[in-house]
A = this chain, B = another copy of it.
Amino acid sequence: MSERYTQAYDVYKQKIEQAMRNMIPERPETFQNGHVPALLAEAMRYSLLAGGKRIRPVLLLATVEMLGGSAEEALRMAAALEMIHTYSLIHDDLPGMDDDDLRRGRPTNHKVYGVGQAILAGDGLLNMAYEWMTDNALRYPDHAVRHLRAIHEIAVRAGVTGMIAGQCIDLVSENMEPDFERLRYIDWHKTADLLTAPLLAAGYLCGADDEQMKALETFGQNIGIAFQIDDDLLDIEGDAALLGKATGMDAKMGKMTWPSMAGVEEARKESKELWDRAREALSLFGEDAWFLREFADSLSRRKY
């Protein structure tokens, strides 16, 4: 990666971390009106501020800047995307869902705070995402419609025809007969939708034209599915210490994945093709897409 890319990524990441810390203050009063209860705030911060690459918010900020928009105006929407991602992880880890004990190298939320508080921490992060996105939109009344379009796109991608649909089908498909149509649906919605959301939200915020929206969607969907296939490959070949979670879980849970169905070699080939297709979609933006191009290069080589 170029130094320019590494530096830009770090700046985005620091802004996002700071915004998220500000959104859930560290020492709130216990049950005082207008404050987040201390226990709830702690449970939300535990998962939200646990590190991670912050891929979705970085994608939003970088795409907004690529399109000539203001990263400042998009910052709290970026943090909200990470909140939605984090809530989905907390709920995915619960008993009745994947029932995981470890996430990013630490005990999962419900292992620390109990199932009830973990459910509420997840609900709280999801709802808070919309609370902050609408609050942010009200600071830019001249862009109210642009913000509404972006928030709506995020809601659709996160929702019952998007990420939640993917989680639902993923959950009922354990130990089922392998089926590529089903697998494509799960990867598309469970993973790719929330990676496409920041790209399209950026497009709406900046008033992108139809051709640009189409290119952003193609980029998002291809990196999204490639990302999931790479995840499945890492579950087979990855280093549990680097990943911060146990490997071999997909096989144990009887999950349908690309490598389990088509074999590791075929899955690697498919992933490479998807990354290539994603890069091609960027040609429309020329040199302005330098960050997204390096982003794809970097992600396609990740080891965790």
Please report A residues at the B interface, Cβ cutoff 8 Å.
Answer: 31, 33-37, 39-41, 44, 87, 91, 94-97, 110, 114-120, 122-124, 126-128, 130-131, 134-135, 137-138, 141, 144-145, 147-149, 151-152, 155-156, 158-161, 164-165, 167-169, 171-172, 181-182, 185, 188-189
Contacts and interface: CB of A to CB of B under 8 A. Distances in A.
Given A94-B119, A148-B147, A148-B148, A159 B31 contact: no
A73 to B, nearest CB: 15
A96 B189 CA distance: 28
27 contacts: A31-B169, A31-B185, A33-B185, A33-B188, A33-B189, A36-B165, A37-B165, A37-B168, A94-B115, A94-B116, A96-B114, A117-B171, A122-B123, A126-B127, A127-B155, A127-B158, A127-B160, A128-B155, A128-B160, A130-B155, A134-B151, A134-B152, A134-B155, A141-B145, A144-B144, A144-B145, A148-B148
Given A33-B188, A39-B168, A152-B131, A159 B124 contact: yes
Contacts of A117: 168, 171-172
A161 to B, nearest CB: 6
A134 to B, nearest CB: 4
A130 B116 contact: no
Contacts of A189: 33
A109 to B, nearest CB: 12
The 3 closest A-B pairs by CB, nearest first: A96-B115, A134-B152, A144-B144
**A interface, over-half SS:** helix
A59 to B, nearest CB: 20
Nearest to A122: B123
Contacts of A151: 130, 134
Given A124-B159, A127-B158, A171-B120, A138 B149 contact: yes
Contact of A164 (B120, B137, B156, B168): B120
Contacts of A33: 161, 185, 188-189
A110 B115 CA distance: 15
B159 A148 contact: no
B126 A97 contact: no
Contact of A31 (B37, B94, B127, B165): B165
Contacts of A164: 40, 120, 123-124, 127
Nearest to A143: B144
A62 B107 CA distance: 48
Given A120-B171, A171-B117, A36 B160 contact: yes
A62 to B, nearest CB: 24
B95 A127 contact: no
A129 to B, nearest CB: 9
Contacts of A144: 144-145, 148
